[in-house]
Structure 1
């Protein structure tokens, strides 16, 4: 076996170590070498402490990544609210007498059905925007309230021969008599607030102000009704009013944990002052109403809910998870992870923050790229 020769060569070294004698192996052709290609030779020092060569720093492998996304950047804020029913109204007695029938709380009354009875005569719900402000009969001046009545008579099947318009004709009177007979009313061919009440749609019965057997006079409050629409009412800090815009879609979390979609239907124009305790100066709030589908909201009234509102911060920008930002001596950067696991550090300029993400601008960045995030 050919002999292997070793020679000592002095190599210049910067730093406190003044002179290092390193054993360098000179190996004849075909000679086996130890792992690493050199003999296990000791380093010799002229003077000074013992030194060892520092291992190059190694980067831990990337184990978690996020994606660069292009789109709108928003803030999300969760606020408390109450789930209730739509616009309410007090129904008053249209005639004097004794209350002989009242509906159950929570019942929904629809077109052509009685709201209550006085002396066994019903006050019947019809649909319309105008209240019953006059007696409707042949000879009255034409008007939109006549159209309302005729439209309801047609929907209920009593308007044979009636043209739905603003004129109360003999045909209209005949239709009214047919409707009165069906409901046990005196067949007069005329009607008004003593027999009908116009509301914009079905009415849900709320609290009653009287009991069966009570005597009532005209205009005495009898019961309260609401629409069947489901609403969430929120008192939003006036400083946060930009979180709510009419038509904005929001997420509503119900008391039982289910989430439903809602839409902002009304934002008050004027703030009001709300006091939370006797010594509290109060806070300015804006009332916000949010419509939710009745079929998804259950039947509970005044139930607590939470609403997730969104504030637009930036449109059509590149963003990364906040955890992807790296602090660099000159600012911030991200580490772009290639398909083969390669990592490229890219300095970035940051913009607005929202919903756990941050806007970034940097050379070569594009939507769909992967970036390393904390936990790597």
Structure 2
């Protein structure tokens, strides 16, 4: 085809089929008329129905993909004991534990939750070198009401030791002024005990229980090819327990392949729910997650059925006059397709499928 317009000779194959159909119908009509000549005059042949048309519109398009997620409290992590001994106390199922709470006890000695981003990796006490773990301990002691060391920093001082001693006294343990490995567990925020692994009397050096965060969220399993579908910060639409609420992707983490034959590694996207109050008390169940993967604003669009695939390649739309206008396609969404081309304008009428 040369230029944006082509001759009627490249019109849809369906017009050829329609022509054959009309001829066939005329033949049948003649036979019927002949058999009825003695009864009444021959009826005139009916004209074929006009083709369906649509108007070229200027609109906004958005390509959306619907995924299935699970409502819960986010991915579970395992709390593993680091202090030798026997488990002598455990929290209740679904217990919510915040800074300073007792996570469990070993030989009747509490293991306490501190908040932060750095796990403890050594004893924090007199004679140690400076480090970020000292700052973490001082920040937690300050927030629990134990001070005397000034502004939290990386230096362990006599004030730090005194504050630790006061905290230990409140816990009911020996006042050593030092925190040993296994005395505290550091987590990014409050936790919720999800599934017990150890029982009372078990060895405290293994898994104790699985825990999650405390805020309800939605988790979506993504295939290995979908990592870029919903990066952190992506806004999504959620349908939770029949209610529509906004959401934001807050994390995308790799997941290992399962044990099933053919299982592959993938990713898990965690989505924060924009309005927890809107979903009531629901804390489990399937969730529809709509991700907008592409969007175009103020573009010309026609129904997908108006596109004609040309023998020489590319696409066109047909005008009611039979002329073809070559078009370049863009985004497909909601039964419409973005089109552009010389001579194409908003408000034009094009032929489409009925």
CA gap 1:180/1:81 in 2 versus in 1, 3 angstroms: same
1:300 and 2:287 correspond: no
Give the one of 294, 301, 305 matched to 1:319: 301
Residue 186, structure 1, aligned to residue 174, structure 2: yes
Query: 2:13 is matched with which residue?
Result: none
Q: Name the residue aligned to 1:177.
A: 165
Alpha-carbon distance, 1:133 to partner: 1.7
Report whether the alignment pairs 1:233 with 2:207. no
C-alpha change, 1:294 and 1:92, in structure 2 (3 Å) is farther
Number of aligned pairs?
A: 302
1:244 aligns with 2:230: yes
Alignment partner of 1:113 is 2:101: yes
Q: Distance in 1 between matches of 2:344 and 2:259?
A: 54
RMSD of equivalent CA atoms: 4.1
* Deviation at residue 122 of structure 1 after TM alignment: 1.6
Cα-to-partner distance string for 1:150-188 (whole Å, 9 max, x where unaligned): 011111111134331111101111111111122222222
Q: Residue 100 of structure 1 corresponds to which residue in structure 2?
A: 88
Structure 2 length normalisation: TM-score? 0.68
**Residue 201 of structure 1: how far off its partner (Å):** 1.2
Task: Name 1:29's counterpart in structure 2.
Answer: none
Residues 74, 219 of structure 2: 8 Å contact kept: no
What's the CA shift for 1:75?
2.7
Which structure carries more helix by proportion?
2
Contact between 1:82 and 1:232, CA under 8 Å: does it hold in 2? yes
Which runs of no fewer than 5 residues in structure 2 stay unpaired? 1-40
CA gap of 1:117–1:55, structure 2 versus 1, over 3 A, is closer
- Could you say which structure has the higher strand fraction? 1
Give yes or no for contact 2:303–2:352 (8 Å, CA) kept in 1.
no
Larger Rg: 1
> Normalization by structure 1: what TM-score?
0.65
SS in 1 for 2:223: strand
Give the structure 1 partner of residue 329 of structure 2. Answer: 351
User: CA–CA distance in 1 between the matches of 2:178 and 2:107?
Assistant: 19
Partner of 2:267 in structure 1?
287
Which of 57, 60, 73 lines up with 1:68 in the alignment?
Answer: 57
Q: For residues 319-338 of structure 1, what are the structure 2 equivalents within 5 Å?
A: 319-322=301-304, 325=306, 331-333=316-318
The 1:251–1:176 alpha-carbon spacing in structure 2 relative to 1, beyond 3 Å, is same
After superposition, the Cα gap between the structure-2 partners of 1:134 and 1:348, relative to the gap in structure 1 and judged at 3 Å, is same
Q: Could you tell me which residue of structure 2 aligns to residue 126 of structure 1?
A: 114
The offset of 1:190, in angstroms, is: 1.1
- Structure 1 window deviating more from structure 2 (292-301 vs 353-362): it is 292-301
